């Protein structure tokens, strides 16, 4: 059972943890202890999910940003593309529109504060102090960039292109005072300082997706198959957690107790302990779950109560 620690944001107690499975055709809200399905939301081309401190769920897709409370009730929707979404501790909401190359900021009620063009923009992440980061794959030459931006207007603070030219950045997470990125272009996870973006550490790990845990480790899925591994934030000394998943992972998250959640390509969402033992499996294709359709390919996973949540 997931330990029910009292999680707080300032003086405010947070709701119990939960897990969101992200699929192209739906998001599903799961109990982390049992994997039971509580509610779901269906929409075309869903691509991302994040949370605020109240447990509200922010769902990004190719046509809108939709927000729900922890019980699945709709709170508000805006009709702008949101290929990726990140929510700050202050309630600010950032979205990246991959097709339109636009980064937007909203307040907690969905009112747009500003927008700015980001050439080849793909990913967005927020640090615990409101630090704003973007990942992009420049359209003219496929150069990959990780950038820090000013949350007040989206202007550029620093940029780094050490991932080089090739397949676009696939992961961007923030923690322990660093921003970590993964890119198949050079099969590396890179660590950058908040202040100046300097790349102090590099790990050649053939990674696909990355997450961050409460144990000062980066967790990642192996690009060529069903392996989950972890590496210290120093990015040295990787270890294998499991190699038994039926396919590659297309999303990974870690909760505050170190349990690992992996959304497996076209298969299921699984919960693992640190030894790689499967605690439960949720099948997105099962008729009992009500999501057995050809548009429900795995996209990612979100863990409310995980270390990397900005709140």
Tens digits of per-residue pLDDT, 104-115?
A: 999 999 999 999
Sequence length of the chain is: 311
pLDDT over 90 (residue 148): yes
Higher-pLDDT residue of 30 and 204 is 30
Q: Report domain extents, the chain.
A: 18-304
Q: pTM value?
A: 0.91
DSSP 133-169: EEEEE-TTT-BEEEEEE-TTT--EEEEE-TT-BSSPP
Q: For residue 12, what pLDDT band results from cuts at 50, 70 and 90?
A: low
Mean of per-residue pLDDT scores for the chain: 86
What is the rounded end-to-end Cα distance, in angstroms, of the chain?
A: 23
pLDDT at position 267 is 67
Fold classification of 18-304 is Methylamine Dehydrogenase; Chain H (2.130.10)
Ramachandran area for residue 196 (φ above 0: left; ψ -120 to 50: alpha; else beta)? alpha
* Least confident among 56-65, 171-180, 222-231: 222-231
pLDDT over 90 (residue 80): yes
Q: For residue 262, what pLDDT band results from cuts at 50, 70 and 90?
A: very high
CA-CA distances (angstroms) from residue 174 to 33, 52, 100, 288? 26, 16, 25, 36
Average pLDDT over residues 174-178: 92
Higher-pLDDT residue of 311 and 210 is 210
Tokens 């990397």 belong to residue: 308
Do residues 103 and 92 make contact, with C-beta atoms less than 8 angstroms apart?
A: no
Torsion of CA 103, 107, 113, 116, to 10 degrees: -10
pLDDT at position 147 is 95
């Amino acid at each position: 059972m997931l330990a029910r620690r009292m999680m707080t944001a300032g003086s405010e107690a947070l709701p119990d943890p939960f897990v969101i499975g992200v699929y192209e055709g739906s998001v599903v809200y799961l109990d982390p202890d049992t994997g039971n399905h509580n509610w779901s939301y269906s929409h075309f081309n869903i691509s991302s999910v994040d949370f605020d401190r109240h447990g509200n769920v922010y769902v990004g897709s190719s046509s809108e940003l939709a927000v729900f409370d922890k019980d699945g009730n709709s709170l508000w929707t805006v009709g702008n593309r949101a290929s990726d979404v990140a929510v700050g501790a202050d309630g600010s909401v950032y979205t990246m529109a991959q097709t339109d190359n636009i980064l937007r900021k909203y307040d907690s009620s969905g009112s747009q504060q500003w927008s700015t063009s980001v050439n080849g923009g793909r990913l967005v992440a927020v640090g615990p102090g409101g630090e704003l980061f973007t990942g992009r794959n420049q359209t003219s030459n496929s150069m990959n960039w990780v950038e820090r931006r000013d949350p007040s207007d989206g202007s550029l603070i620093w940029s780094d292109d050490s991932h080089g030219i090739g397949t676009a950045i696939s992961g961007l997470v923030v923690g322990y005072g660093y921003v970590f990125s993964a890119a198949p272009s050079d099969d590396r996870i890179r660590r950058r300082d908040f202040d100046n973006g300097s790349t102090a550490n590099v790990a050649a790990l053939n990674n696909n997706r990355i997450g961050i845990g409460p144990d000062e480790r980066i967790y990642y899925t192996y690009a060529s198959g069903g392996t989950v591994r972890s590496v210290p934030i120093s990015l040295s000394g990787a270890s294998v957690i499991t190699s038994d998943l039926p396919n590659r992972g297309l999303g990974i998250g870690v909760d505050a107790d170190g349990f690992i959640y992996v959304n497996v390509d076209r298969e299921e969402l699984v919960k693992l302990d640190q030894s790689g033992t499967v605690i439960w499996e949720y099948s997105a294709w099962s008729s009992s779950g009500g999501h057995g359709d050809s548009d429900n390919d795995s996209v990612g996973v979100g863990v409310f109560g995980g270390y990397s949540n900005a709140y």
